[in-house]
Chain A
Amino acid sequence: MASSDDRVAGSDTGEDCPCRDGMFDTLEANRRRFIFGAGSALGAASALALATLPARAAEKAPPGAVWYDVPEDPTKVPGRPVAGDGGYGTRSQFETAVRIRFPTPNANTSWSLTPLASLYGNITPSGLHFERHHNGIPTIDPSRHSLVVHGMVGTPKRFSMDDIKRLPSVTRRHFIECSGNGLTEWKSPKGKTVQQTHGLLSTSEWTGVLFSTLAREVGLKDGAKWVLGEGSDAAVMTRSIPLEKMLNDAMIVYGQNGEAVRPEQGYPLRLLLPGYEGNTNIKWLRRLQVSDKPFMTREETSKYTDLMADGKARIFTLDMDAKSVITFPSGDMKLPGPGIYTISGLAWSGRGRILSVDVSTDGGHLWYPARIESTPEPMCTVRFTFPWIWDGKPAILQSRCTDETGYIQPTLAQLLAIRGDHGPYASVYHLNSIQSWAVASDGGVSNVHA
């Protein structure tokens, strides 16, 4: 399914977005994009119907919001009552950013991408966290859910959700990135927006129990080297994880950004492997089987392997290499005119902390250090910023990060030289090269290979 062919997220609506909205989107532009936008709950037909209705009737709240009448002057009429929302809040009706789905033929095995350009700071709102499911989102009653840990252990055990919550917990911020992030971008620039090119990346604060804690409860046997994680979805997703990783920093999480993990993210329990490719972070986790060998599941052989030009495929390519991307300005935006702009973006590494980020405005000839907005944490994104005075001439914006191992984010040319350039179904995963955004003299920003 995962191939770098012509499809890009959002293209299933046939939208050829001419709406290069300015950096400060107007409400109209936002609403137009919401109604016609890819990934909106409305089909193309109903969107058209809506558009022909009087503007008033077309005012409909975006997903995650409730539409309220907008008073002329909010200081002259009482507002809404306390807890009138039933006790769980919604976002503003004026906030329209949504995930968009990649047009795979089957919506049950597909992915949706995070609208990175609409995010602030470092944490992805739980409702905008990217998705990748292999047969839909299961509905699971936590009172009937449990985690079985067995295999090469002293005492195989079943842990109820209550059991797991009684164990000492840790709370850590980590990104998850699908190793297919950017798979359309190897050959030529395909995605128009940073959501399409980099949206399989999200960051959350995760709460749960370290695997090492569970390991002591069951007792590991000598010779144990791998652990199979299994999900409780219709794909019964399985991946084999090196025990070394499991004992190093693997978490069994039930909390995401201060509340229970969202259903799309594995409710009620998810395996969290900091810095590992997204697919290994098994959602709806129901079973861990300790073993001396990997199981060679479909997901770690047929998929998530990288076929090189010599016909050999790399297997267990688990770490996500250091990567960064500018989210403002980014593809499909339009700068209103010359002047000062704060370039902003995200940087992350699966091998530790981000050490530094550089920005270039001339396609990688000159690099300047960017400012990192927060203290870098291991296997967590950082937001970087860089003040830029645009002179109105064409420019090529790039960011390049270095992680704490000293690894420097490579160029696309460097990666292609290694991974080969042999067709859309070959090496599609683990693209972590420098992204280029071209700013034209009219201020339009587009995705280019430079």
Chain B
Amino acid sequence: MFTHDLKPLVRRLLLAGAFSIGASACAFAQSASDTRIGVGTPVTKAELSKYFAIPPDGTGLPAGSGTPSEGRVVFMDNCAICHGDKLQGNPKPGFGGDRLIGGRGTLATNAPVKTVESYWPYATTLFDYVKRAMPFSAPGSLTDDQVYSVVAFILAQGHIIKPDATMNAKTLPKVQMPNRNGFVPDPRPELSLYH
């Protein structure tokens, strides 16, 4: 199971005092300057390039671009079966894709409708999520251009961007989502429970 030479490791462990062998016997170990054990292999930038997680400022957005009209084709081919051709969702057994648009103005009512359009605070999240997890039946199968396009299509259908807007690494983080300021930090434990 272990393929590495254990000797340097054992030396480091002793120095780090990570394994105690009797406090008095190796009291000197407490003063070791390097508390690292020296396990793990450094990874290169190239190796890291296959991973992504896109924060709101757009760091890590790939090259490429797409428009709503290109995105319509991508959506009808890859998404509509589960999310509906009007983006209305499909609750049928075996599908279960969420409704993606509509619901603006409902969040403070007794029938809130949470969609990308009405609820999501950042457009970057949509790119990140579609690239990582959709289409549900073949996640990660779209090209970056296709992801930009289908994101543009959803945002345009939700009247968040213009029907001819191009989405790319520059424009996407600038998209103002309707519910951008709709989130507040966790106030728990709730003070009224201590009244």
List the interface of chain A (C-beta within 8 A of B).
1, 104-106, 108-109, 134-135, 148-150, 155-160, 162-164, 166-168, 213-214, 216-218, 228, 230, 234-236, 238, 287, 289, 291, 293-298, 301-302, 305, 307, 309-319, 321, 351, 405, 407-408, 410, 414, 417-418, 422-423, 425-426, 430
Contacts and interface: CB of A to CB of B under 8 A. Distances in A.
A140 B21 CA distance: 37
A216 B35 contact: yes
Given A297-B125, A302-B120, A167 B53 contact: no
Nearest to B91: A105
A156 B129 CA distance: 24
15 contacts: A156-B42, A160-B41, A162-B3, A216-B36, A235-B133, A236-B140, A295-B54, A301-B120, A302-B116, A313-B119, A314-B186, A314-B187, A321-B189, A418-B190, A425-B114
Interface string B140-169: 100000000000000000000000000000
B184 A314 contact: yes
B59 to A, nearest CB: 9
Contact of A157 (B19, B42, B56, B133): B42
Contacts of B119: 301-302, 307, 313
List the 7 closest A-B pairs by CB distance, nearest first: A311-B108, A105-B96, A106-B96, A157-B40, A311-B107, A298-B129, A315-B183
A163 B91 contact: no
A408 B112 CA distance: 30
Nearest to B191: A418
Given A158-B43, A313-B183, 6 more contacts: A105-B91, A106-B93, A148-B51, A167-B37, A218-B40, A410-B193
Nearest to A312: B184
B111 A423 contact: yes
Interface in B7-41: 9, 18-19, 35-41
Interface in B44-91: 47-48, 51, 53-57, 91
Contact of B110 (A156, A218, A235, A422): A422
Given A157-B40, A422-B112, A414 B186 contact: no
Nearest to A109: B96
Given A216-B36, A301-B183, A407 B193 contact: yes
A310 B179 CA distance: 13
Contact of A407 (B108, B116, B189): B189
B186 A158 contact: no
Nearest to B19: A168
B192 A417 contact: yes
A405 B35 CA distance: 34
B125 A150 contact: no
B128 A408 contact: no
B37 A217 contact: yes
Given A156-B48, A162-B1, A425-B112, A301 B122 contact: yes
B contact face: mostly helix, strand, loop, or mixed: loop
B29 to A, nearest CB: 14
A193 to B, nearest CB: 24
Contacts of A160: 41
A422 B111 CA distance: 7
Nearest to A236: B132
A354 B193 CA distance: 18
Interface in B110-138: 110-114, 116, 119-122, 124-125, 128-129, 132-133, 136
B98 A1 contact: yes
A107 B53 CA distance: 26
A259 B48 CA distance: 31
Nearest to A150: B48
A302 B114 contact: yes
B40 A228 contact: no
B18 to A, nearest CB: 5
Contacts of A108: 136
Given A150-B43, A296-B122, A307-B112, A316 B54 contact: no
Contacts of A157: 40-43
B55 to A, nearest CB: 5
Contacts of A105: 91-96
A156 to B, nearest CB: 5
Contacts of A351: 189
A276 B5 CA distance: 38
B182 to A, nearest CB: 6
B192 A414 contact: yes
Given A1-B98, A311-B107, A163 B193 contact: no
A423 B110 contact: yes
Given A287-B51, A298-B125, A1 B96 contact: yes
A408 B193 contact: yes
B125 A302 contact: yes
A241 to B, nearest CB: 13
A210 to B, nearest CB: 11
Contacts of B93: 105-106
A228 B48 CA distance: 14
B183 A305 contact: yes
